[in-house]
Structure 1
Amino acid sequence: MLQVVLLVGFLPAGEAGRVIDPTQEDVAAAIREGMELTVRNRFEQADSLFHRLIQKYPDQPFGYFYVAANLQAWMLDEEDFSRSGLFQLYLNRVLVRCDSLEKIDPNNGWLAFYRGSAHLYKGFLNSKLGHWWGAYREARKGVKELERVLAKDSTLYDALLGIGSYKYWKSAKSGVLRFLPLIADEREEGLRLVEKAIERGHFVYWVGRDQLAWMLIDSKQWERALALAKENHQQIPESRFFLWTLSEALARSGKYREALPVYRQLLESIRADGPKNHFNELHCLTKMAEINLALSRYREADSLARAGLALPLRSAVSRRAKGRLKKLRKVLKVCAPFLAGRQKNAPVEEASVLPER
């Protein structure tokens, strides 16, 4: 109780006890600036900006939500989830403030949006930690809440991003179950909803465009996926999120020669950011080794595989990365007879013709 009293004491005059619309000019500008900082890998600056929102509006959910959203991106960027407890703490604060303010304004769509989005983020964390039932439960709870958003305010298009993403990935991951009569294939609807969120939402432009690119990659709509991924990268070249998406779009579509320099740029960005747990560095080296092997560049493939296997991985990271380590050992095994026979790497122009899948 004392904590609540202290927090209210810091509210600007006239702000206590009412719901602040996040689209009001000062709040919206701060949210958009912070989200762009996140996309640009400037996580500490984004964290500071969102904490200033909390200081100014401590009883509103949006500051806590965007601290958590930035923290999610930060953990993904480093593939290090040791701050998951802090992530959960801020999401719980979002839920507490939504519950409190909804007693004042029960029909406010933004409160339902932040509550639903908080549950989706909790689902994300559960999935990363391998808690699949918890992930599904939180995701379902979040989507139901976002559907309530549209019942309260049909123009709150930001909610469509979470709903559309859920519909698409639920169908995409259901595999053969999609052919059962009671299992709907909602992938096309999911794509449509995400596109509408990007076009008409307030705060989901960048995250929506990246999410849409991954959906298009998954559905093998290569032309659209590559165009969107390239455009995102051109607009914010330093974003590792957009580098990941573009490199994967190129590699999965069979454009191996184009993918290599993008993976190289991504690898250099990861290394320049300082020592981490090497998980993402290993992923880049694995992809580059496999691509060079496919291009018959055995020396390069061998060198990259050895660099990956030499990374000083902690035991927990090694367990998570066992699939990648296995792939690198396979690359070495395939390269060995070619290198032992002193066969030189095929020049680029003479490399095997690769299928553009």
Structure 2
Amino acid sequence: MWILISIVFFIPILSAPPASPESYGMVEDGWEEHIRQSILKIADLEFEDGLTMLDEYIKVYPGNPGGYFYYAVGVQEKIQKLGDFSELKRFYKYAGKCQRLANKRLVKNPKDSVARLFLGATDGYIGLLEARRRNILRASKNAVEAKSRLERVLSERPDIPDTYFGLGMIYYFSSRKAQEEGGIISWVIKRFITHGKDMRREGIEMLDHAMESDAFSKDYAKSALMWIYLYEHDYERAKTMAIEIADEFDRDTLARWVLGRVALVQGRCGEAKQWFKKIVELNITLGAPDTLYLEVPVAIIKAEVCARTRDKQFRAAYALNEETLEWLNDDPKVTLEYQDEKNLIKFWKDESEWTKKKLEFLIKRNSRQP
């Protein structure tokens, strides 16, 4: 069935001449490069510079919901990457303005697919933030609304690649959440979003399409796929994408976290430690609070445990591993990898418990040697 759907949707794209956000109405004529540059600044954690550029667009076109949408997305990125929930009011201000203007356009023209896309995508971003705040039921409600609107846009205008990003995120992460949560949340997702199916593969395919297109969301799609491949334990793909992102964005902490995580999983202790320390350096440069990424110091310790064990400094490694376990057993909160927080904590805890037993054995064996 998915193959048939893909054929229906992709034939118009392949047979049509190359399009751009201007040609399908996502941005006013002459402003595409301006919007792209603002998005790049936000992606590289230059949030206020990027938002200032978007404000310039809003001032010229105050009646276009797009400017408010891109601004809300920029604020959402700041919240997600810096954990700065004091920005929620600003996010909802611009998200609400976008939705009001988009609804007005739909009243005038019910076939306005771009207005519907702005509405659906805004629902999606609200859902992401509410999921981050652990308001899972509200996030699921927003995901249902986003899915309905975006699927209609896809059926009407399959040439708009940003739609694939939104639906790809919903399909993949809703499927994961349904498997992890259980109870009423799982029921809502399976009943209204995935219809009982595992849609992770469809989500990945849609995100891949958005990444390879000229979508405004192409960099966000690449970042999403980087995380997804990490979650799916496809470490080489995760690493490849993280390297590309880190090379393009000097201040990006998320890609460097993924590179450190992959290096640590693959036993490259020194490399992992360097990536994690780079995040600390970037946070200092950004003026971020010490409490922003509490998992990073723990990751550095885990890399040090790995290195000390390799160097046969078993007692030192044991002491450091105990620090890791103390943090893991004290209701830890994960910021960088919040989408997979439960699995990361469980993985680290199991690994640290196994490391403890291994080091106890090695210490005991060494003590018996003359």
In 1, are the aligned partners of 2:154 and 2:163 still within 8 Å (CA)?
yes
Pairwise CA distance, 1:271: 1.5
Structure 1 alignment gaps of length 5 or more: 1-19, 310-317, 342-357
Cα drift, residue 196 of structure 1? 0.8
Q: 1:69 to 1:248 in 2, by over 3 A?
A: farther
Q: Distance in 1 between matches of 2:228 and 2:69?
A: 24
Query: Given residue 273 of structure 1, which amino acid in structure 2 is its aligned partner?
Result: L
Aligned to 2:87: 83
| Counterpart position of 1:184 | 197
| CA distance in structure 2 between the partners assigned to 1:210 and 1:228 by the alignment | 8
Question: Distance in 1 between the 2:229 and 2:132 partners?
Answer: 22
Report the counterpart of residue 289 of structure 2 in structure 1. 276
The amino acid that maps onto 2:223 is D
Match of 1:355 in 2: none
Pair 1:293-2:305 in alignment: yes
| SS of match in other structure, 1:264 | helix
The within-5 A match list for 1:1-357 is 21-175=25-179, 183-276=196-289, 278-280=291-293, 282-295=294-307, 296=309, 320=333
Q: Once the two structures are superposed, what CA deviation does each residue of 1:83-133 show, in whole Å capped at 9, x if it has no partner?
A: 212211211111000011122332222111110011011111211222111
| Equivalence for 1:346 | none
Residue number in structure 2 paired with 1:6: none
Q: Is the 8 A contact 1:197 1:204 kept in 2?
A: yes
- Identity, in percent, stands at 20
When residues 155 and 81 of structure 1 are mapped into structure 2, their CA distance, relative to the original with a 3 A threshold, is: same
Counterpart of 1:137, as a letter, is K
Provide the alpha-carbon RMSD of the alignment: 3.6
The DSSP-based 3-state class of the residue aligned with 1:271 is helix
> 2:11: which partner in 1?
none
Quote how far apart the aligned CAs of 1:294 are.
2.9
Between Structure 1 and Structure 2, the one with more helix by share is 2
Q: Secondary structure at the match of 1:26?
A: coil
* Distance (whole Å) between structure 1 residues aligned to residue 31 and residue 100 of structure 2: 20
Match of 2:14 in 1: none
Give the whole-Å Cα distance in 1 for the aligned partners of 2:59 and 2:234: 44
How does the TM-score come out when normalised to structure 2? 0.72
Unmatched runs of 5 consecutive residues or more in structure 2: 1-23, 335-341, 364-370
Distance 2:319 2:59 in 1: 53
Q: How many residues align?
A: 307
Q: Distance in 2 between matches of 1:136 and 1:230?
A: 32
- For residue 291 of structure 1, report the CA deviation from its aligned partner: 2.1
Contact 1:229 1:249 in 2 (8 A): no
Give, in whole Å, the separation in 2 of the partners of 1:285 and 1:232. 23
Cα distance in 2 for residues equivalent to 1:257 and 1:44: 35
- Distance of aligned partners of 1:245 and 1:97 in 2 relative to their CA distance in 1, 3 Å threshold: farther
Counterpart-to-counterpart distance in 2, 1:75 and 1:305: 32
Matching residue's letter, 2:301:
A
| Cα contact 1:168–1:188 (8 A) shared by 2 | yes
SS in structure 1 opposite 2:66?
helix
Distance between the aligned counterparts of 2:153 and 2:145, measured in 1? 13
Using the TM superposition, give the Cα deviation of residue 302 of structure 1 relative to its aligned residue in structure 2, in angstroms: 6.3
Structure 1 residues 300 and 74 mapped into 2: Cα distance closer, same or farther (>3 Å)? farther
SS of 1:166's equivalent?
helix
* CA-to-aligned-CA distance 1:322-342 (integer Å, 9 cap, x gap): x98x98xx99xx7xx99xx9x
C-alpha change, 1:299 and 1:52, in structure 2 (3 Å) is farther
Distance of aligned partners of 1:21 and 1:259 in 2 relative to their CA distance in 1, 3 Å threshold: same
Measured at CA, do residues 270 and 306 of structure 1 come closer, stay the same or move farther in structure 2, by a change above 3 Å?
farther
How many Å apart are 1:63 and its aligned residue?
A: 1.1
In structure 1, distance between residues paired with 2:91 and 2:108: 27
Distance in 1 (CA, whole Å) between partners of 2:54 and 2:88 is: 18
TM-score (norm 1): 0.75
Tell me what 1:315 maps to: none
What amino acid is the match of 1:292?
A: E
Amino acid in the other structure paired with 2:143: A
